[in-house]
Chains A and B, each alone.
Chain A
Amino acid sequence: MSDSLYLAWRYIGFNRWKTLTLMACITLITVLPLTLQVLLSETERQMLARAASTPLVVGAGGSALDLMMSTLYFGRDVPELIDMSDSEEIWKTGLADAIPLYVRFRARDYPIVGTTLDYFDFRGLGFAAGRPLAVLGECVLGAEAARRLELKPGDSLVSSPDNLFDLAGVYPLKMSVAGVLKRTYSADDLAVFVDLKTAWIIEGLGHGHGDVARDGDTSVVLERSEDNVVANASLVEYTEITKANIDSFHFHGEPENYPISAVIALPHDAKSAAILRGRFLESLVTAQIVVPFEVIGALMQNIFRIKNVLDAVIVVVGLATVLAIALVFALSLRLRQREIETIFKLGCQRATIAHLLAAEIILILFASGVLCVGILLIVDHYSADLVRLIFVN
């Protein structure tokens, strides 16, 4: 057999271009579906990891998927809103910690995520520069958002108007950048985090302005009575929260009635989670409680049905390639007919000739296999980064 292998090796070496073409065909047809499988598995793992690390989400009744896309990935579509009191209700049960989220506004196309500091602890977000949010009007940027916007702590960022055509609408708020988060290769990298109260100020539920009751400027006063001063529309609201004007910022109404888009509930244990879900199912409230892993898992199953189509295409292409390779070998045999006859006349048996051809095929398959494993190892090693590069854009 070693003689056959030697002769086969010499033959392959002499016909190196034909051999390389064959190896490339075999390697490609093997590597392609396997690489796809590795990358899809990694994509699924990463997408599910964010859902799996979020035990429960409470939001308004309606599409659970919209709620998940907004809560986990800060998507553009704003789900039906709930009240801050829903978050407090979860705290009061003593079954879970509650992290409210208000994902509605944007700053230069990046989602403004109004939340509490507990979110940073929950996601394990560390700071690459600067410090956490401390006072109203500050924001913390995800790593990628900071890089693309070329912002650093101390710079400022203006919230985008909710509606360009609403001239009498909410003033954009100039936010001071307090810190930049470390890269996490998740939706957090593209977010602009603010305190919930800052998000409500962006919405116009809270605002700051001069003291109309005490300031001497009568031009802004529409009506003055003993216990009430009505200001007219010329009263200018502050568009930036500074040390000098922060005390003038105030909210209208009760904070528990202010809107949020969702609450991430962190049950203390499995039993607490079950009780909490039970309470929401029993109650007739319009809010829903969902397990993100189940919702995103179902979504993934639908998305990855396309993989079956890809698999089918690859199988067909693979079959075609195998047939082509068989044809190459058949043609090769025909071309080598005189060479085979010479070997036969030299006294070699037909079995020896078969050994020679088999050795050639084994060597080519072996080399392709080694190449294939090498490529797969590299893909597997960088699969997490490759997927992040594709999704965190």
Chain B
Amino acid sequence: MNLDSITVESIRDSLRERKYICDRSLATVVYLSVRLGKPILLEGEAGVGKTEIAKVLADVLQTRLIRLQCYEGLDSNTALYEWNYPKQMLRIKLEEIGSRDRESVETEIFSEDYLISRPLLDAIRTDGAEPPVLLIDEIDRADMEFEAFLLEVLSDFQISIPEVGTIRADKRPYVFLTSNRTREIHDALKRRCLYHWIEYPTFDKEYEIIMTKYPEVQKVMAEQICAFMQQVRQMNFYKRPGVAETLDWASALLLLNRAELDPEIVKETVGCVFKYREDLHHLEEELSGDKLDMDRILKEPATVVGGNAQ
């Protein structure tokens, strides 16, 4: 894709071609990010497609996707680079037999051959190729220290390795950060980024997503699934189901050759939607209560009030 000719529409359409349904506001933010060279911080509930958009965009831009999954205790050795110690030691041992002078050995074992490149260094060292999409996933799981370190990398897009020198990105990678908000991201990092909150999809959007991913799903059932999802997202579950769950459910129902939902099959397959015992329990209560109007969901799914669950 030619970067100079991209527009908000072209981004939205090419994402759509690759089966990622996104609204104009997300497309605008992605567009701005590509043009401004600024990272995007995506927040939203689990399973609304935060990670997916980075993957799809890499495909659109026809470039590599480099993914850095964050976890507690992630440090710069794992994220940036590390010296290949065993290889260095072996080299030293081998050199003991030979008679080369110490200095040349030293320069050698601290050359790039002995450097193990980790995702961040990978993303910056493009060697003239198209800049990759760098996905820093679930940043909220990493420690605060790592965040501070990331701040440094994301502001200059350069990395200094004392023994080798400074490596600078000739073209900035397209950076996506995602967070599930298990804790707050530091303000300084947020300021470096464009921010976008991905909502749960509306009824229509979710319907479109199902029909795009699984065109063989019967229309009635797709509507019923969406109506069910819209309703339960407005209730107080521990983990509200995301789009990922919707799609799992749809594909499970397809496997079972279902053309329509009925109360029985909902009970049998609801494990696709709720993954916590307390939530399953809660659902049972709701099903027997009157808040979850199954009749209406099954018979007139299109009339179930959509809108974004907050």
Q: Answer yes or no: are A and B bound together in one complex.
A: no
Measured CB to CB, the residues of B under 8 A from A are none
Measured CB to CB, the residues of A under 8 A from B are none
